[in-house]
Each structure stands twice: as structure tokens, then as C-alpha cells.
Amino acid sequence: MTVQVREAVSETDPRQWLSAIGQRFAPADQALIGRALEVALELYVDRVRPDGEPLLTHGRAVAGLLAELRMDGETLAAGLLSGAPRAAPDWEKILRERVSPAVAALVDGVVRTAQIQGLRGRVDGGGRPAERAAQLESLRKMLLAMVQDVRVVLIALAEQTQRMRWLAGHGDPAARESAARDTFDLYAPLANRLGVWQLKWELEDLALRCSAPDIYKSIARQLDEKRSDREAFIARVIEQLRAELVQAGIEAEVTGRPKHIYSIYRKLARKDLALKDLFDVRGVRVLVNDVKDCYAVLGLVHAIWTPLPREFDDYIAKPKPNNYR
């Protein structure tokens, strides 16, 4: 079960929030998150981030995102306390003594990733695209290489996601544009590399919303007009596919979702199409155990629906340049 904690955290009683976010954890982890919340309530009183978001609001939202990713108690506690360095000079001593050394180490790692992220501003925006892409790739590799615990990167990704959520509704245009560049250049590619699709998709949508709000709103408005039809269509396709798979004796997991707005935007721009002319504003995924079953499912799909010319790609036989298969 996924824990959904996207409520207005500033209006939530701390005990209720702790109960909601800690329900799937063992008692020891619940106690750890509880200690982290006690420290956060003390350190974050009346303190805000540079973008104006209250530190407590930000920390609880970051912990909520990490809960949705089903991270462990130490990671949630560190996400909640990721703002501690802004709130107290002796934050590390406080976290070590009152929460745990492991949580203090994770927060310290997040601080170090922020320092590396600051180097992004030195990437030459006026250079050739290939040179700039190489510089950004080097920066991503540097960040991953210096992090000893991958949980640090996940906390940083959750922090950026919440930052973008806040800026999308509260930030001034310059702050939104700067944060969108950070997201497109660094955070979304890192989420993609780590396979954290849930954050990648939201980061890209939020970055588009901040950098090109008119385009974002136009696509969102057109999608919302037909949302119920798309969701009903996806449900019918999933039901039909599951029945065919059972009949064929193929073990598989079938899921579906509407495409996220940024991927639609990029395809519209690349193919110079209007939204009404785009075929794949919804997607269905079939997860199987091996390559043989993958091609067997493909045969079933092609028997039910006729493939569109020039719209079929085989990334098993011909992987993408980034080795995606």
C-alpha cells in the first residue's frame, strides 16, 4: 500500500501527520521519525526557505514524497530534517544526539550534493550544445560518484520536487525559470538514471509549468477535457489485455496511465503536431519475466490492434543511445 501524504501539511496536527506517515513502519522506525519530528518542530519555528516556503512545510512534504517511494525510516527522518542546516549552526550535533548518527550523515550528504549542484551555474550556457551537454553529464557523474549512499540523491530529488511544487504556485518568474533549468539540467536526468520515474515525470511537468506556463496550461486544459474518456479507454485496454494474457498462459503485470504533460509537449514540438493528431497521449505497460514473453505479448497486442506505420520501435533489438532496452 502506498502512503499518500500530499495534504496541506501546515494545517495538519503533528501527531496526525506522524500517524499517517509512519503507519507502515516498525516501532523502532516510528520512534526515529517521531524524534525527527520533535527536533523539526523546535528548529523550524517561524523559519522559511529562501523561496518563502516554511521549513516545516517543506520538510514534511519531502518526507511524504519519500514515503510514497517506500523509503526506510532513516531516509524519511533525514528528509524531514533536510532544512536543519538552515535553522541551527550546531545542527549536526543536535541530529546526532537527539535523532541518530545515520540521519545526521544523510543530511550532511544532502548538504554536499547542494554544493555540487551549485556548480551547475558554471556550465557555459553560451557554448555549443554538445559541449554544454558534456559538461552537464560530467556534473551528474560527479554528483553520483561523491555520494556514498544513494538515499542522499533520493532525498535531494524529493527536495527539488517539493521546491518546484512550491515555486509553481508561489515563486516569482525569475526563481521559477532558474529552478526549471536546474530541474531539466540536473534533477530530472538523475531521476531518470536512477529509474525513479514517479519523480522524473513530476519534475519535468513542474519544470515546464514554471518555464512555459502558457504552453503547460494549454496542454493541461486540452487533456482535462477528455480525461474521463482516456481513463475509461485505458481501463478497457488493461482488462482486455489481462484476459488475453491469462488465456495465453503468460504471467504479466499490466498497468496504464495518461502520458505526462512534458512528454506530450516534447513529442508535439519534435513532430510539429497538434494534440488532436498525437496518438499516444495514454500508455499501457506490460511487465513480463523474460524477452521471450515480451515478444509473445507483442504478438498478442498486434493481433488485437493494428500497428501504426512508422510508430513502432524495438528497443530490445535496437537499444536507445543511452542503452535503454
Beta-strand pair 253-258/282-287: antiparallel
pLDDT at 11 over 70: no
pLDDT digits (tens, 9 = 90+) for 79-128: 999 999 999 999 999 999 999 999 999 999 998 888 776 666 656 555 56
Model confidence band, residue 157 (pLDDT cutoffs 50, 70, 90):
very high
Nearest to 199 by CA among 262, 144, 137, 247: 262
- pTM metric for this prediction: 0.78
How does pLDDT run across 38-47, given as a tens digit for each residue?
Answer: 999 999 998 9
- How far, CA to CA in Å, does 129 sit from each of 125, 178, 236, 317? 8, 19, 43, 29
Whether the pLDDT of residue 16 is over 90: the answer is: no
Q: Is the pLDDT of residue 35 over 90?
A: yes
> Cell for 289?
519475466
pLDDT tens for 189-239 read: 999 888 898 899 999 999 999 999 998 998 888 777 666 777 788 889 999
> What is the distance, to the nearest Å, from the Cα of residue 178 to the centroid of all Cα atoms in its chain?
18
Segment 55-78 mean pLDDT = 95
pLDDT exceeds 60 at position 10: no
- What is the per-residue pLDDT for 284? 86
Q: DSSP per residue over 197-239, as a string? A: HHHHHHHHHHHHHHH-HHHHHHHHHHHHHTHHHHHHHHHHHHH
Fold held by 219-304:
Beta Polymerase; domain 2 (3.30.460)
Contact 66, 162 (CB under 8 A): no
Is the model more confident about 81 or about 317? 81
Which CATH class for the 9-211 domain?
A: mainly alpha
pLDDT above 70 covers what percent of the chain?
A: 86
Domain spans of the chain, in order of start: 9-211, 219-304
The x, y and z cell numbers of residue 230, run together, are: 482516456
Give the percent of the chain with pLDDT over 90: 50
Tell me if 42 sits within 8 A of 62, measured CB to CB: no
* Cα 214 to Cα 282: distance, rounded to the nearest angstrom: 22
